[in-house]
Amino acid sequence: MTATEQRPLDVIVLAAGAGTRMKSDLPKVLHPVAGRPMVGWAVKAARSLGARQVVVVTGHGAERVEAALAGEGVTFARQDQQLGTGHAFLCGAQQLPGDGDVLVLYGDTPLLSEDTLRGLLQDHRAEGSAMTVLTGELPDATGYGRIIRDETGGVLRIVEEKAASPEEKAVREFNSGVYVMDARAPELAARIGNDNPAQEYYLTDLLELYRTEGGAVRAFKLADPDEVMGANDRRQLADAEAVMRRRITQNLMREGVTIQAPDTVRIEDTVQIGRDVVLEPGVILTGETVIEPGAVIGAYSVVGSSRIASGAVIRAHSVLEQASVGRGADVGPFARLRPGTMLGESVHIGNFVETKNARLDQGVKAGHLAYLGDVTIGQETNVGAGTIVANFDGVNKHQSQVGAGVFIGSNSTLIAPRTVGDAAFIAAGSAVHQDVPEGAMAVARGRQRNLEGWSRRYWGGLREKVDVKLPWLSGWLRKD
Ligand code: UD1
Ligand code: CA
């Protein structure tokens, strides 16, 4: 490693602009791409480069932007009036120690890859440049500042669209707005003026200032100009989302994840997925979700900040939020696991079962139509169809415990707080309002009476109607 490679890196993220084309109450840089606010992508990239300090320059919607980045270990510089990129840079540069390289990023270009930035930095350091501009090439670079070079290919200056001559406008190489500079940048940027038609302080003027100071200026060209595609309106936001989605799914597939219909799934970059996981069409995975090797996520399931252990199967149309699913468990279709759900190994949750703050130990089965809230259930317990844990008394939520090896008959209600001992039985249709001891059978429902001959007496008074509508029954009534 050479001495230059050890220079610390500081990053300034420009994020004070208004973003009016987004037509939104949310500041532009907080619009999410693949679940992360755009400015968050810039901060993440900065971190991945090992930045010593990250300064985010805020202005429009400053409070909200700062709140969204609280806890990310960045500092903020307020730019109260947006007087141009040069001015924004100076606002941020005041916080820098002044002895490292300085990288400038924008808060609204989420697609810029860490690989590209590493390439830029490496070029800057290897060439011993004073300033390196990240550039791209497009058939039509309208809107961007153009890179003007001399006969030998050396970079001379950047000319903004508004000030460009027809020949300059024909230049296809454009300024991405991303630069890396040596530690003199803040001092030189202080000399930028606003003597231009827009009366803005252009950070691009720094390039000529470096040149007059005798610093070497270079351009580093992007392989894919889409990486610096800004998301200025909702259409571009959707384009950015699509590019990011494709990037994420392709990475996952490279790592051994099967994605049956990659264009239909949405996976946030915070999600971790192991080998041989199968994602069926329409799956949405968000937040801090972890899916261990070999699990299957069924079609149109939505999994947020949950952990799915190896070999578990989540069947179609299930919705999980802050849940954990044990090895080999089988969930859904149409299951809903709400926050605080912990399913042990080989648990079976069937259709239309809702759980919340519920721990179901190994081998518990709740196959159909149940609500299990604020409850722990011991291993191998069978929860019958239609079981409800009535955890709410209108004011408070109450906690219940069900033991291991219990059989809860269908359509039972456990009125919380309730304790049911190991190996107990609960008769179907019970409203359980007392605790059930270990090994007992609880029957908590009205005793059945059979009123012999009742049907014949009832229909007898309605013979006419039965005749017209129910031919089988009228035949039965005529028999003796
Ligand atoms: C800038 C460059 C242009 C380049 C283009 C790439 C200048 C003078 N021009 O143009 O050469 O091709 O980016 O996209 O730099 N910002 C602030 N405070 C300000 C002004 C801007 O924080 O006072 C932020 C914006 O929020 C945005 C970024 O800086 O994230 C770029 O600003 P923008 O107005 O979009 O620059 P352009 O005029 O497009
Ligand atoms: Ca712009």
89 pocket-lining for ligand 1 (C-beta < 6 Å):
no
**Strands of 150-245, DSSP E:** 155-159, 173-181, 217-221
96 pocket-lining for ligand 1 (C-beta < 6 Å):
no
Domains and CATH numbers, the chain: 3-228 (3.90.550.10), 257-442 (2.160.10.10)
Full pLDDT tens readout for the chain, 480 residues: 454 457 899 999 999 998 899 999 999 999 999 999 999 999 999 999 999 999 999 999 999 999 999 999 999 999 999 999 999 999 999 999 989 999 999 999 999 999 999 999 999 999 999 999 999 999 999 999 999 999 999 999 999 998 999 999 999 999 999 999 999 999 999 999 999 888 999 999 999 999 999 899 999 999 999 999 889 999 999 999 999 999 999 999 999 999 999 999 999 999 999 999 999 999 999 999 999 999 999 999 999 999 999 999 999 999 999 999 999 999 999 999 999 999 999 999 999 999 999 999 999 999 999 999 999 999 999 999 999 999 999 999 999 999 999 999 999 999 999 999 999 999 999 999 999 999 999 999 999 999 999 999 988 877 777 777 888 988 898 887
The predicted pLDDT at position 221 comes to: 97
419 pocket-lining for ligand 1 (C-beta < 6 Å):
no
326 pocket-lining for ligand 1 (C-beta < 6 Å):
no
* Residues 6 or more apart whose Cβ sits within 8 Å of residue 10: 51, 52, 53, 54, 55, 96, 97, 100, 101, 102, 103
The predicted pLDDT at position 5 comes to: 53
Mutate to test the pocket of ligand 1, among 85, 87, 236 (most ligand atoms within 8 A of CB): 85
368 among known catalytic residues: yes
**pLDDT tens across 116-167, in order?**
999 999 999 999 999 999 999 999 999 999 999 999 999 999 999 989 999 9
DSSP state of 448: P
Q: What's the pTM?
A: 0.90
Query: Of 60, 124, 348, 368, which residue is the catalytic one?
Result: 368
The predicted pLDDT at position 3 comes to: 47
Tell me how far the alpha carbon of residue 19 lies from the centroid of ligand 2, in angstroms. Answer: 9
Tell me how far the alpha carbon of residue 477 lies from the centroid of ligand 2, in angstroms. Answer: 85
Strand partners, 341: 323
Segment holding 201, helix H or strand E: none
Q: Which of 142, 17, 196 is nearest to 89 (CA)?
A: 17
First-to-last C-alpha distance (Å) of the chain: 104
Q: What CA–CA distance (Å, rounded) separates 8 from 5?
A: 8
Which ligand 1 atom is at minimum distance from the Cα of 201? Answer: 8
From the CB of residue 469, how many other CB atoms can be counted at a distance below 10 Å? Answer: 10
27 pocket-lining for ligand 1 (C-beta < 6 Å):
no
The predicted pLDDT at position 1 comes to: 42
Note the ligand closest to the C-alpha atom of 28.
Answer: 1
Sign of CA dihedral 20, 22, 24, 29: negative
* Residues 6 or more apart whose Cβ sits within 8 Å of residue 454: none
Angle at 307 between CA 306 and CA 309, to 5 degrees: 150
Q: Which of 339, 322, 344 is nearest to 331 (CA)?
A: 344
CA distances from 401 to 15, 344, 466, 468 (A): 52, 16, 50, 54
Which ligand 1 atom is at minimum distance from the Cα of 205? Answer: 8
Q: Angle, nearest 10°, between helix axes 38-48 and 114-126?
A: 50
133 pocket-lining for ligand 1 (C-beta < 6 Å):
no
Q: What CA–CA distance (Å, rounded) separates 373 from 113?
A: 44
The predicted pLDDT at position 230 comes to: 86
Tell me how far the alpha carbon of residue 249 lies from the centroid of ligand 1, in angstroms. Answer: 31
Note the ligand closest to the C-alpha atom of 160.
Answer: 1
**pLDDT tens across 88-102, in order?**
999 999 999 989 999
